[in-house]
Amino acid sequence: MKRFWLSLPFVLAGILAIVLLRQLRTSNHELVSYRLSRQVMGTLASIEAVAPPSMRKQLPEVVSRAFTVVDRVEAIMSPYKDDSLVSRINRQAAQEPVALDGWTAEVLRQSQMHWKLSGGAFDPTCGPLIELWKRCGKEDRLPTPEEIATAKDRSGFDKVILNLEADPPTIRFTQPGMRIDLGGIAKGFAIDLAAGELHKSGCVGGLVDIGGDIRTFGRPDDDAYWQIAVQNPFHEGTLRILSVHDAAVCTSGNYQRFSIIQGHRYSHIIDPRSGMPAEASPSVTIAGANTTGTDAIATAVSVLGYADGMKMISNLPHYEAMLIIGSPQAFEMKSSVGFDKFVRN
Ligand code: AMP
Ligand code: MG
């Protein structure tokens, strides 16, 4: 009898666990989901929508609308499309103010804010430096100090006149040869818009993933949390699983996209202060409330490195960081204090 009483708490816990599991299963049956993946913004994107069964038939249309929003952001902000607004800005803004649409004005407003917050580490006006390093990558040579100095001279948000009060808002460059590159923030902005489209359509859960930058809300149809895997930057495989409901998670990495010049690997992220590729962190993951912010901050912290990056994060209450530092042979994972609320194992 004594043994029975001793084991009673375990029996009750077991019953409770079964009841909870059954409830979870039942509620799972009350949701349906639809996921579609395709190439967009030069990478693979996946959009998943979760909704009550009454919306089952609409979900493919809802997901397709979310992709259309991403396509529109790309059409406006891609520097590779001649007819995009960004290309037109880069051709004309040194001669005259160029009118902005609402989305580009918002991305530039947030870019300017993150440029200030990061002490210039995030700077989408470093287009001339990005292009210089790209060209040198193709020619397998390092840029000369003069080339870097010229490109640096043509970069800097302080050389931009952004008039957001005008109707329509406008941008103007104060020097010829300047170019903006929104590659460090536009993906995050597109993800926020696409997630907003799912939400607006009545979805109770959703996930938008563009090339590993992710926004989630609600929950999936078959689990209590969305699970986001943070990749090991050095080898195939996962470093950590983050379990989240509503979150934006972006990873920037020196080891993800790079060019090799004379046998040395150079990051696609440029330190606007030196004009050199960022060397500091192989992988920076930022978690936060919106993807536009996490995208820009991940790029900024990649430039700043561990000490200055963590200092920046400690001043931003809505964002947390996880950095991989070191070499493939000896690397360490470092997180800001609040990051662990996202971690399951
Ligand atoms: P991400 O993968 O979000 O870190 O963005 C990297 C992209 O942002 C690069 O491919 C460039 O297009 C652009 N970029 C590079 N360096 C910077 C920088 N320091 N600030 C803002 N954008 C940058
Ligand atoms: Mg970014």
Q: Per-residue DSSP letters for 6-53?
A: HHHHHHHHHHHHHHHHHHHHHHHHT-EEEEEEEEETTEEEEEEEEE-G
The residue to mutate among 299, 304, 308, having the most atoms of ligand 1 within 8 angstroms of its beta carbon, is 299
Backbone angles phi, psi at 277, to 5 degrees: -60, 145
CA 334 to CA 143: how far, in whole Å? 33
Q: Distance, CA 68 to ligand 1 centroid (Å)?
A: 24
CA 233 to CA 282: how far, in whole Å? 7
Which pair of structure tokens corresponds to residue 97? 């103010």
* Token pair 């002490």 in the structure block, residue: 119
Which pair of structure tokens corresponds to residue 174? 């104060």
Q: State pTM to two decimals.
A: 0.90
CA-proximal residue: ligand 1, atom 12 (nearest)? 183
Please, are residues 75 and 84 in contact by the beta-carbon 8 Å criterion? yes
Q: Distance, CA 138 to ligand 2 centroid (Å)?
A: 23
Q: Distance, CA 254 to ligand 1 centroid (Å)?
A: 11
CA 295 to CA 301: how far, in whole Å? 10
* Token pair 């299963």 in the structure block, residue: 25
DSSP state of 259: E
207-219 b/e with 16+ CB inside 10 Å = b?
Answer: bbbbbbbbbbbbb
Q: Distance, CA 227 to ligand 1 centroid (Å)?
A: 26
Q: Is 303 in the pocket of ligand 1 (CB under 6 A)?
A: yes
Atom number of ligand 1 nearest to Cα 122:
20
CA 190 to CA 103: how far, in whole Å? 10
Q: Distance, CA 188 to ligand 2 centroid (Å)?
A: 7
Which residues sit with Cβ closer than 5 angstroms to ligand 2, an ion? Answer: 184, 295, 298-299
Comparing CA positions, the residue from 67, 65, 75, 1 lying closest to residue 38 is 67
The residue to mutate among 107, 130, 131, 304, having the most atoms of ligand 1 within 8 angstroms of its beta carbon, is 130
**CA–CA distances in Å: residue 23 to residues 19, 29, 110, 175, 194:** 6, 10, 42, 63, 31
Per-residue pLDDT of the chain (345 residues; tens, 9 = 90+): 444 444 544 444 444 444 444 344 444 569 999 999 999 999 999 999 999 999 999 999 999 999 999 999 999 999 999 999 999 999 999 999 999 999 999 999 999 999 999 999 999 999 999 999 999 999 999 999 999 999 999 999 999 999 999 999 999 999 999 999 999 999 999 999 999 999 999 999 999 999 999 999 999 999 999 999 988 888 888 888 999 999 999 999 866 677 889 888 889 999 999 999 998 678 999 999 899 999 999 999 999 999 999 999 999 999 999 999 888 888 899 999 899 877 765
Q: Is 130 in the pocket of ligand 1 (CB under 6 A)?
A: yes
Atom number of ligand 1 nearest to Cα 187:
3
Q: Considering every ligand atom shown, identify the ligand nearest to the alpha carbon of residue 278 and give its number.
A: 1
Please, are residues 159 and 125 in contact by the beta-carbon 8 Å criterion? yes
Q: Considering every ligand atom shown, identify the ligand nearest to the alpha carbon of residue 182 and give its number.
A: 1
